[in-house]
Structure 1
Amino acid sequence: MDIALQYCNITVNNVDDSLAFYRDALGLEVRNDVASGGFRWVTLGSAAQPGLEIVLSEPHAGRSQADGDALQALLTKGVLPMMVFRTDDLDATFEKVQASGAEVLQEPIDQSWGPRDCAFRDPSGNMVRISQAKK
């Protein structure tokens, strides 16, 4: 039996602002854009992982008012789980993302546990780390 991760959700304040980060700065491709009930769910992916998609949606999309409010509070505090991406050229990726105007949290450094990585905040305040395996 095989099992694989298919979707990973990222809660964002504004789908369009987030597209500018995930699509334009990180280079992910839009796979699907679905509107329903005044909300949108946009999926993005990478050619390097064709079976995995990231889903961008707002806190209240498909949730009760109370659950959406709770998720919005966590998003506003910046405490939702981070995303970690992998690249084969960290310095070039860092330059591209930095040029997009994203908030830099950490410039590329060699970590004691192995990878070289950097960190940004997406337009909604989510932490996004980008890692490159040790050469």
Structure 2
Amino acid sequence: MSQGVDVVGLYVRDQDEALAFYVEKLGFRVHTDVRNGDFRWLTVQHPEQPSFQLGLFTPGPPLQDEATAQALRALVAKGAMPPLVLAVDDCRAAYERMLGLGVEFTQEPVDRFGSVDAGFRDPSGNGWKMIGARRH
């Protein structure tokens, strides 16, 4: 029996806004974008990791009831969800490129633990760590 993680879901406040951010600023591409009534299954993938998808989902039915959806929206907006990690070859160069595209950084690149990392948020408040190898 074979198994593995195919899609990791991320809650966003607006799927179109999230789609523009992940495609235009981070370089992901659309994998799946289908609707079933009011529900939209939207996934993106990084071009260098075609077997992995990031789901961009809005809290609410059919995934949760409205009270739970409201609580999730509030947690995401506060940046309370665990950060995701974006691996890059050169953190400082990626930081400069993404800063020029308007990405909101919460932490400039810092040398630590043998690498360089920076922090940023998507338009919904989801936190990201960007980690690259330390340049000597």
TM-score class, shorter-chain normalisation, is 0.7 to 0.9
Deviations 1:48-91 (A, max 9, x none): 21111000011115222222122112112220121111011222
Q: Secondary structure at the match of 1:50?
A: coil
Alignment of 1:1-135 (within 5 A): 3-62=3-62, 63-111=64-112, 113-134=113-134
Q: Is the 8 A contact 1:26 1:97 kept in 2?
A: yes
Q: Is the 8 A contact 2:90 2:133 kept in 1?
A: no
Paired amino acid for 2:121: R
Q: Secondary structure at the match of 1:78?
A: coil
Identity of aligned residues (%): 37
Gaps of 5+ in 2: none
CA drift at 1:13: 0.4
TM-score, normalising length from structure 1? 0.88
Partner Cα separation in structure 2 for residue 97 and residue 36 of structure 1: 34
Closer/same/farther in 2, CA of residues 96 and 88 from structure 1, 3 Å limit: same
Deviations 1:89-111 (A, max 9, x none): 22232122212222111111111
Partner Cα separation in structure 1 for residue 49 and residue 16 of structure 2: 23
Q: Secondary structure at the match of 2:51?
A: strand
How many residue pairs end up in the alignment?
134
Partner Cα separation in structure 2 for residue 96 and residue 80 of structure 1: 25
CA drift at 1:20: 1.9
Gaps of 5+ in 1: none
Partner Cα separation in structure 1 for residue 90 and residue 84 of structure 2: 18
Q: Displaced runs of 4+ in structure 1, greater than 3 A?
A: none
Partner Cα separation in structure 2 for residue 42 and residue 81 of structure 1: 21
Partner Cα separation in structure 1 for residue 45 and residue 16 of structure 2: 16
